[in-house]
Amino acid sequence: MTLFRGRRILAGAMTLVAAAALAACGSKTTDANTSAGVTADVSGDTVKVGLLNSLSGTMAISEVTVRDSIMLAIEEINAAGGVLGKKVQPVGEDGASDWPTFAEKAEKLIREDRVAAVFGCWTSASRKAVKPVFEKNKALLFYPVQYEGLEQSPYIFYTGATTNQQIVPGLDYLKAQGAKSLYLVGSDYVFPRTANKIIKAYAEANGMTVLGEDYAPLGSTEFGTITNKVKSAGADAVFNTLNGDSNVAFFKEYKSAGLTATSMPVVSVSIAEEEVKSIGTQYLEGQLTAWNYYQTTPGAANEKFVAAYKAKYGADKPTSDPMEAAYVSVYLWKAMVEKAGAFDVEKVREASDGITFEAPEGLVTVDGATQHIAKTARVGKVGADGLITEVWNSGDPITPDPYLKSYPWAGGLS
Amino acid sequence: MTVLIGQLFTGVSIGAVLLLIALGLALTFGQMGVINMAHGEFIMAGAYTTYVLQQVVTVAGWSLLVALPVAFLVAGTMGVLLEILLIRRLYARPLDTLLVTWGVSLILQQLARDVFGSPNVQTRAPELLTGNIALPGGITVANNRLFILALAGGAVVALTVALRVTPLGRRIRAVVQNRDLAAVSGIATARVDRMTFFIGSGLAGIAGVALTLLGPIGPTMGTNLIIDAFLVVVVGGIGQLKGTVIVAFGLGVLQATGEYLTTLSVAKVMVFVAIVAFLQWRPQGMFTLRTRSLA
């Protein structure tokens, strides 16, 4: 009977798919040489750097723009004479929104291309995947995206915000606005789960209630139930840590359910100008975001950055916080190398403390102890034109505190 | 109570999506017994058709309406090409069909990546479909969900009528029930197969149009859907539309209820466990078609 034949074949298909998935997971990176680091190849008149971003898959919506701004910084630096007299030569790899692939490509950049530093990664899952690779090989990663904190690798420089420079100020803002209850929605991986742990600790210490907490797998596009739960809980605000284009589905559903920025505002920490554009302004107008930089941030350094970016990639391309942090990371690396007078990783790390840069977001300072940078927190509102306008900022740059040691309520977290 | 009704509606609308993606497969897999792993990519083709049309017809409402028949034709034509070029030569070798169509699915994904770029794209929904209808008691019914529900309902009705009433439908049923006898009665079975494949693949295209209202369009969207589509058809019972319809809505409500009570991931596990248990009890699926064929 066709029926039974069909079933056996279907079982065969499932086995095949499962085998393929297993094979993909099982491809471990080689670790032939675990103790000694690999020295970068700086013998010629160029120095190679690695760019590691997802150019395909669910994270590409965000990571492609980071790649573009890193390329812009490298071009500008080369036009101005390079680093220590050497031209910077970028070697690009696609992490494909897949964490084992990130680890594999990192290994390749360090060992085969012998790059002096790698710029990239977006999701914390990808950073956690490559962290042991960089530590084992004693190589440098510049990570340009806000993240959940509670981490400090000697071989990673974190140029995006840690929690006390983004999420905590975002919560302070909500508290000042009178929000008493929150609903937490996030993607199901390390950043949203850790971020929500911190948010819950903050809420408890500050008299706010968390009415619910829901997670969707990365890439998930079915938000009917979550939206229903959010709506019936009736919180004062929603704290959104969804990543990638799940946000598209979530905000479409949110609007369909009749929820708006005035009835129940959403504060997002992973939606910047580029995402606003692709999600659609019609769904996001009036919603809040917490970042350190917006395209509209005033200042000469930003005007120059925005103009250069638009000249290279098109007038309709917005600039965003992670792009700015990635752009800044290349300049910070340059400054560290020049201060150290060498590309050697340990010397660069030693030279890092106190390095400042007049960034588009304002003055940033590298904190050598934590390898994070001091930056100003900003809360913004999405406008009808798709740009985000600042509604609040912290005034001065906030000193990075990845383990939230200076916050008594965060005692039990790390 | 409000929440319950809201959840019921969410479940039904998940069911409508499942139904739309499984309906085409119910024809090609259910009726013809062809395992087409590229079915998901026909859905993707339908979604990208909507995206392309929106660049041409800039009024979102019109482009969506135009997209429905165009996506049906595009996906249907792709299906017929696949049938003529590959599947027809492999009718007696189902395992080869599976591998070949899987290969085709990978090729189509890469093609989409090359043509439209790797990052996912979005379409603008017509303003009418982004709103909702407020019912008494604080219940809101999202317009885009209603649209998809209507679309799924319409597709089922149209397909049922086509199978019951039209000469082509009669021939399709005849071929499903007994291919040899149909052939000796003068039915051109090869042509019937081609038409069945056209309609089945075309329905995938319609599903693709509907999905653009809910989420992003990307080269890998098909892979995420194909397993769900096969599950619905297998659990519903092969060779029957009735089973597909009931199971699609059943699984939708089960998923929504599970998700409401627990979390999304746990709900997915619950649905899979329920399916495994059900197939242990009724390996032939919910409904079976009695045929006189010896195949």
Give phi and psi for B80, each to the nearest 5.
Answer: -65, -40
Lowest mean pLDDT among A353-367, B40-54, B75-89, B177-191: B177-191
Nearest CB to A6 within list B102, B238, B265: B238
Q: CA-nearest residue of chain A to B114?
A: A56
Cβ of A56 within 8 Å of Cβ of B113? The answer is yes
Residues A395, A281 share a domain: yes
Residue (of B104, B76, B86) closest to B208 by Cα position: B76
| Chain A residue whose CA is closest to B128 | A256
Residues A54 and A149 in one domain: yes
A144 plus A263 within the same structural domain: no
Beta strands A356-359 and A362-367, pairing class? antiparallel
- Count of CA atoms in the C-beta half-sphere (13 A) of B119: 18
User: In this predicted complex, what is the ipTM?
Assistant: 0.78
CB atoms within 10 A of CB A341: 11
Establish if A19 belongs to a structural domain. Answer: no
Give a yes or no: residue A11 inside a domain: no
- Contact between chains at A228 and B95 (C-beta distance less than 8 A): no
Distance in angstroms (rounded) separating the CA atoms of residues A1 and B288:
11
A217 and A284: one domain?
yes
Domains contained in chain A, number: 2
Do A261 and A386 reside in the same domain of the chain? Answer: yes
Whole-number pLDDT of residue A9: 53
Domain region containing B64: 2-281
Distance CA A258, CA A240 (A): 18
B289/B177 Cα distance (integer angstroms): 8
The answer to whether residues A61 and A139 belong to one domain is yes
Residue B289 — very low, low, confident or very high, per pLDDT cuts 50/70/90? low
B292 in any annotated domain: no
A293 in the same domain as A304: no
Instruction: Count Cβ neighbours within 10 Å for each residue of B195-211 and write b for 16 or more, e otherwise.
Output: bbbbbbbbbbbbbbbbb
If you measure CA to CA, which chain B residue comes closest to A280? B124
For residue A368, what pLDDT is reported? Answer: 92
Nearest to B29 among A6, A17, A249 (CB): A6
- A58 within domain boundaries: yes
Specify if B104 maps to a domain: yes
Tell me if residue A342 falls in helix, strand or coil.
coil
Q: What does the pLDDT profile of chain A (414 residues) look like in tens digits?
A: 344 444 555 555 555 555 554 444 444 444 444 445 677 777 788 999 999 999 987 788 789 999 999 999 999 999 999 999 999 999 999 998 899 999 999 999 999 999 999 999 998 889 999 999 999 999 999 999 999 888 999 999 999 999 999 999 999 999 999 999 999 999 998 889 999 999 999 999 999 999 999 999 888 888 989 998 999 898 999 999 998 888 988 998 898 888 999 999 999 998 888 888 878 888 899 999 999 999 999 999 999 999 999 999 999 889 999 999 999 999 999 999 999 999 999 999 999 999 999 999 999 999 999 999 999 999 999 999 989 999 999 989 999 999 999 898 888 776
Instruction: Note whether residue B293 is domain-resident.
Output: no
User: A136 with A168, same domain?
Assistant: no
CATH at B83: 1.10.3470
Is residue B289 situated within a structural domain? no
| Per-residue pLDDT tens over the stretch B81-91 | 999 999 888 87
**Quick one: pLDDT at residue A240?**
96
- Minimal CA–CA distance to B8: which of A224, A66, A410? A224
B287 located within any domain? no
Residue B112 lies in a domain: yes
Q: What are phi and psi of B117, to 5 degrees?
A: 90, 155
What does DSSP say about strands A388-393 and A378-382: parallel, antiparallel, or unpaired? Answer: antiparallel
Inside any domain, residue B124: yes
- Residue A353 exposure: Cα atoms within 13 Å on the Cβ side: 6
Size of interface A-B (CB pairs under 8 A): 144
Note the pLDDT of residue A36.
Answer: 53
Average per-residue pLDDT for chain B: 88
pLDDT tens per residue across span A197-206: 999 999 999 9
Whether chain A has a CB inside 8 Å of the CB on B256: the answer is yes
Same domain, A178 and A106: no
Q: How far apart are CA A124 and CA A190, in angstroms?
A: 6
Whether residues A258 and B230 touch (CB distance < 8 A) is answered with: no
Residue A21 domain-assigned (yes or no): no
A258 to chain B nearest CA, in Å?
Answer: 6
| CA-closest candidate to residue B252, choices B21, B8, B42 | B8
Give B227's contacts in chain A (Cβ within 8 Å).
17
Q: What is the pLDDT of residue A27?
A: 43
The end-to-end CA distance of chain A, in Å, is 60
Q: Answer whether residue A113 is part of any domain.
A: yes
Write the pLDDT tens digit of every residue in B24-37.
998 888 777 888 99
**Are residue A174 and residue A261 in the same domain, yes or no?**
yes
Residue B254 lies inside a defined structural domain of this protein: yes
Overall domain count for chain B = 1
Residue A23 included in any domain: no
| Amino acid B294: pLDDT | 46
Query: In A140-265, which ranges are E strands?
Result: 141-143, 156-158, 181-187, 209-216, 237-241
**Inside any domain, residue A28:** no
Q: Is the separation of the CB atoms in A228 and A198 below 8 Å?
A: no
Distance of alpha carbon A125 from alpha carbon A91, whole angstroms: 22
Whether B295 has a pLDDT exceeding 50, the answer reads no
Nearest CA-CA distance, residue B294 and chain A, Å:
7
Are residues A59 and A111 part of one domain?
Answer: yes
Tell me if B42 sits within 8 A of B78, measured CB to CB. yes
Range of the domain at A174: 164-297+378-410
CB A391 within 8 A of CB A381: yes
Nearest-by-CA chain A residue for B120: A61
* Token pair listed for A113: 């291309």
What percentage of residues in chain A have a pLDDT greater than 90?
A: 69
The answer to the question of residue A181 being in a domain is yes
A214 and A132, same structural domain?
no
Pairwise CA distance, residues A275 & A266, whole Å: 15
CATH number at residue A365: 3.40.50.2300
Interface of B with A in 129-158 (CB under 8 A): 130-132, 134, 140, 142-145
Half-sphere exposure of A61 (CA within 13 A, CB side): 27
DSSP assignment, residue A408? G
* Per-residue pLDDT tens over the stretch A205-250: 999 999 999 999 888 888 989 998 999 898 999 999 998 888 988 9
